[in-house]
A = this chain, B = another copy of it.
Protein backbone atom coordinates (compact mmCIF):
# COMPACT_ATOMS: atom_id res chain seq x y z
CA UNK A 1 0.00 0.00 0.00
CA UNK A 2 1.15 3.55 -0.66
CA UNK A 3 1.32 6.04 2.17
CA UNK A 4 -2.10 7.69 2.07
CA UNK A 5 -1.92 11.04 3.73
CA UNK A 6 -4.52 13.28 2.08
CA UNK A 7 -8.29 13.32 2.27
CA UNK A 8 -9.68 13.17 -1.26
CA UNK A 9 -12.00 16.07 -1.99
CA UNK A 10 -14.23 17.54 -4.67
CA UNK A 11 -12.93 20.96 -5.76
CA UNK A 12 -15.45 21.98 -8.43
CA UNK A 13 -18.69 20.75 -10.01
CA UNK A 14 -19.68 22.12 -13.42
CA UNK A 15 -22.31 21.22 -15.99
CA UNK A 16 -20.92 19.00 -18.74
CA UNK A 17 -22.15 18.62 -22.30
CA UNK A 18 -22.70 15.11 -23.66
CA UNK A 19 -20.31 15.92 -26.52
CA UNK A 20 -17.49 16.70 -24.08
CA UNK A 21 -18.10 13.63 -21.89
CA UNK A 22 -16.03 10.52 -22.39
CA UNK A 23 -17.70 7.99 -20.06
CA UNK A 24 -21.33 9.02 -19.68
CA UNK A 25 -23.88 10.75 -21.90
CA UNK A 26 -27.42 12.06 -21.63
CA UNK A 27 -30.03 10.70 -23.99
CA UNK A 28 -33.50 11.79 -24.93
CA UNK A 29 -35.76 8.79 -25.38
CA UNK A 30 -38.85 9.26 -27.48
CA UNK A 31 -41.35 6.54 -26.64
CA UNK A 32 -45.03 5.70 -26.99
CA UNK A 33 -47.02 4.73 -23.94
CA UNK A 34 -49.83 2.19 -23.53
CA UNK A 35 -52.32 4.55 -25.16
CA UNK A 36 -50.05 5.27 -28.13
CA UNK A 37 -49.28 8.77 -26.83
CA UNK A 38 -45.77 10.02 -27.72
CA UNK A 39 -43.74 10.85 -24.64
CA UNK A 40 -40.18 11.78 -23.67
CA UNK A 41 -37.82 10.36 -21.04
CA UNK A 42 -34.37 11.65 -20.09
CA UNK A 43 -31.71 9.12 -19.24
CA UNK A 44 -27.99 8.79 -18.52
CA UNK A 45 -26.02 6.03 -20.25
CA UNK A 46 -22.46 4.75 -20.07
CA UNK A 47 -20.46 5.12 -23.28
CA UNK A 48 -18.30 2.13 -22.36
CA UNK A 49 -20.64 -0.88 -22.64
CA UNK A 50 -18.88 -3.69 -24.47
CA UNK A 51 -19.92 -6.74 -26.44
CA UNK A 52 -21.23 -8.57 -23.35
CA UNK A 53 -24.07 -6.05 -23.20
CA UNK A 54 -23.50 -5.80 -19.45
CA UNK A 55 -21.84 -2.76 -17.90
CA UNK A 56 -20.59 -4.17 -14.63
CA UNK A 57 -20.43 -6.95 -12.08
CA UNK A 58 -20.56 -6.87 -8.31
CA UNK A 59 -19.33 -9.72 -6.16
CA UNK A 60 -20.94 -10.99 -2.96
CA UNK A 61 -17.96 -12.87 -1.46
CA UNK A 62 -18.74 -15.54 1.13
CA UNK A 63 -15.67 -16.19 3.30
CA UNK A 64 -15.61 -19.60 4.99
CA UNK A 65 -13.02 -20.20 7.72
CA UNK A 66 -12.60 -23.12 10.14
CA UNK A 67 -12.74 -21.00 13.30
CA UNK A 68 -14.30 -17.68 12.31
CA UNK A 69 -17.92 -16.82 11.59
CA UNK A 70 -19.07 -16.87 7.96
CA UNK A 71 -18.22 -13.44 6.61
CA UNK A 72 -18.33 -11.22 3.56
CA UNK A 73 -15.87 -8.70 2.14
CA UNK A 74 -16.76 -5.09 1.55
CA UNK A 75 -14.64 -2.35 0.02
CA UNK A 76 -14.29 1.30 0.98
CA UNK A 77 -13.32 3.84 -1.66
CA UNK A 78 -13.80 7.54 -2.29
CA UNK A 79 -16.52 8.16 -4.86
CA UNK A 80 -16.52 11.67 -6.34
CA UNK A 81 -20.20 11.49 -7.46
CA UNK A 82 -21.31 11.34 -3.81
CA UNK A 83 -18.23 13.17 -2.38
CA UNK A 84 -17.77 10.50 0.26
CA UNK A 85 -16.02 7.23 0.96
CA UNK A 86 -18.48 4.62 -0.27
CA UNK A 87 -19.12 1.17 1.21
CA UNK A 88 -19.76 -1.39 -1.53
CA UNK A 89 -19.39 -4.98 -2.61
CA UNK A 90 -16.26 -5.42 -4.73
CA UNK A 91 -17.31 -4.47 -8.26
CA UNK A 92 -16.13 -3.16 -11.57
CA UNK A 93 -16.85 -2.58 -15.22
CA UNK A 94 -16.59 -5.56 -17.57
CA UNK A 95 -13.66 -5.24 -19.96
CA UNK A 96 -14.15 -5.63 -23.71
CA UNK A 97 -14.29 -9.35 -24.58
CA UNK A 98 -14.52 -10.45 -20.95
CA UNK A 99 -17.32 -12.62 -19.55
CA UNK A 100 -19.10 -11.49 -16.37
CA UNK A 101 -17.63 -14.52 -14.50
CA UNK A 102 -14.09 -13.60 -15.58
CA UNK A 103 -14.66 -9.98 -14.58
CA UNK A 104 -15.89 -11.09 -11.14
CA UNK A 105 -12.85 -13.31 -10.52
CA UNK A 106 -10.51 -10.54 -11.72
CA UNK A 107 -12.15 -7.74 -9.74
CA UNK A 108 -12.30 -9.74 -6.51
CA UNK A 109 -8.60 -10.48 -6.80
CA UNK A 110 -7.61 -6.93 -7.74
CA UNK A 111 -9.68 -5.15 -5.14
CA UNK A 112 -9.30 -7.58 -2.24
CA UNK A 113 -6.50 -10.03 -3.09
CA UNK A 114 -8.82 -12.98 -2.39
CA UNK A 115 -9.45 -15.76 -4.88
CA UNK A 116 -12.69 -17.65 -4.93
CA UNK A 117 -14.97 -19.81 -6.99
CA UNK A 118 -18.22 -18.67 -8.56
CA UNK A 119 -21.23 -20.13 -6.75
CA UNK A 120 -23.98 -18.39 -8.70
CA UNK A 121 -24.52 -15.54 -11.09
CA UNK A 122 -27.63 -13.41 -11.14
CA UNK A 123 -29.70 -12.54 -14.16
CA UNK A 124 -28.90 -9.19 -15.77
CA UNK A 125 -30.38 -6.58 -13.46
CA UNK A 126 -30.81 -2.83 -13.91
CA UNK A 127 -29.25 -0.44 -11.43
CA UNK A 128 -31.58 2.58 -11.49
CA UNK A 129 -34.05 2.10 -14.35
CA UNK A 130 -35.92 5.37 -13.85
CA UNK A 131 -32.73 7.35 -14.52
CA UNK A 132 -30.06 5.31 -16.31
CA UNK A 133 -29.54 2.45 -18.73
CA UNK A 134 -26.93 0.89 -16.38
CA UNK A 135 -27.08 -2.85 -15.86
CA UNK A 136 -25.03 -5.43 -14.00
CA UNK A 137 -24.85 -8.96 -12.68
CA UNK A 138 -24.31 -10.03 -9.08
CA UNK A 139 -21.89 -12.92 -8.70
CA UNK A 140 -21.81 -14.89 -5.45
CA UNK A 141 -18.30 -16.27 -4.85
CA UNK A 142 -17.06 -18.62 -2.17
CA UNK A 143 -13.65 -17.99 -0.65
CA UNK A 144 -12.44 -20.98 1.40
CA UNK A 145 -9.78 -20.09 3.95
CA UNK A 146 -7.61 -22.36 6.06
CA UNK A 147 -6.42 -21.78 9.60
CA UNK A 148 -3.41 -19.47 9.51
CA UNK A 149 -3.82 -18.32 5.89
CA UNK A 150 -2.13 -14.93 5.56
CA UNK A 151 -4.21 -11.98 4.39
CA UNK A 152 -3.61 -11.77 0.62
CA UNK A 153 -2.18 -8.74 -1.18
CA UNK A 154 -4.48 -6.49 -3.18
CA UNK A 155 -3.51 -5.84 -6.82
CA UNK A 156 -4.64 -2.27 -7.20
CA UNK A 157 -4.04 -0.11 -10.26
CA UNK A 158 -1.91 2.96 -9.86
CA UNK A 159 -4.14 5.67 -8.41
CA UNK A 160 -6.65 3.19 -6.94
CA UNK A 161 -7.17 3.48 -3.18
CA UNK A 162 -9.43 0.73 -1.95
CA UNK A 163 -9.68 -0.56 1.60
CA UNK A 164 -11.17 -4.02 2.17
CA UNK A 165 -13.00 -5.08 5.32
CA UNK A 166 -14.06 -8.57 6.41
CA UNK A 167 -17.49 -8.43 8.09
CA UNK A 168 -19.32 -11.37 9.69
CA UNK A 169 -22.60 -11.93 7.84
CA UNK A 170 -24.63 -11.80 11.03
CA UNK A 171 -23.39 -8.28 11.78
CA UNK A 172 -23.43 -6.89 8.23
CA UNK A 173 -26.65 -4.90 8.36
CA UNK A 174 -25.83 -3.13 11.61
CA UNK A 175 -22.29 -2.45 10.43
CA UNK A 176 -23.64 -0.69 7.33
CA UNK A 177 -25.96 1.45 9.45
CA UNK A 178 -22.97 2.41 11.60
CA UNK A 179 -20.88 3.29 8.54
CA UNK A 180 -23.57 5.70 7.38
CA UNK A 181 -23.70 7.31 10.83
CA UNK A 182 -19.93 7.73 10.65
CA UNK A 183 -20.20 9.69 7.39
CA UNK A 184 -19.65 6.98 4.81
CA UNK A 185 -22.04 6.51 1.86
CA UNK A 186 -23.48 3.00 1.70
CA UNK A 187 -24.25 1.51 -1.73
CA UNK A 188 -27.96 0.75 -2.16
CA UNK A 189 -27.40 -2.71 -3.66
CA UNK A 190 -25.10 -3.87 -0.86
CA UNK A 191 -27.56 -2.41 1.65
CA UNK A 192 -30.51 -4.22 0.09
CA UNK A 193 -28.65 -7.55 0.16
CA UNK A 194 -27.81 -7.02 3.83
CA UNK A 195 -31.39 -5.93 4.61
CA UNK A 196 -32.81 -9.06 2.97
CA UNK A 197 -30.38 -11.22 4.93
CA UNK A 198 -31.22 -9.41 8.18
CA UNK A 199 -34.94 -9.65 7.56
CA UNK A 200 -34.67 -13.42 7.12
CA UNK A 201 -32.47 -13.73 10.21
CA UNK A 202 -34.89 -11.81 12.45
CA UNK A 203 -37.91 -13.58 11.06
CA UNK A 204 -36.77 -16.97 12.32
How far is the CB of A57 from the nearest CB of chain B, in Å?
11
Q: Check A192 against B196 for contact (C-beta < 8 Å).
A: yes
Q: Which residues of B contact A12 (CB under 8 A)?
A: 29-30
Q: Which residues of B contact A197 (CB under 8 A)?
A: 196-197, 199-200
Apart from A14-B28, A79-B130, A88-B129: 11 A-B pairs, beta carbons within 8 A:
A13-B29, A16-B42, A29-B80, A35-B159, A39-B80, A125-B180, A127-B127, A128-B134, A135-B188, A138-B191, A196-B197
**Chain A interface residues (CB < 8 Å from chain B):** 2, 4-39, 41-46, 56, 60, 70, 78-82, 86, 88, 91, 122-136, 138, 140, 159, 161, 176-177, 180-181, 185-201, 203-204
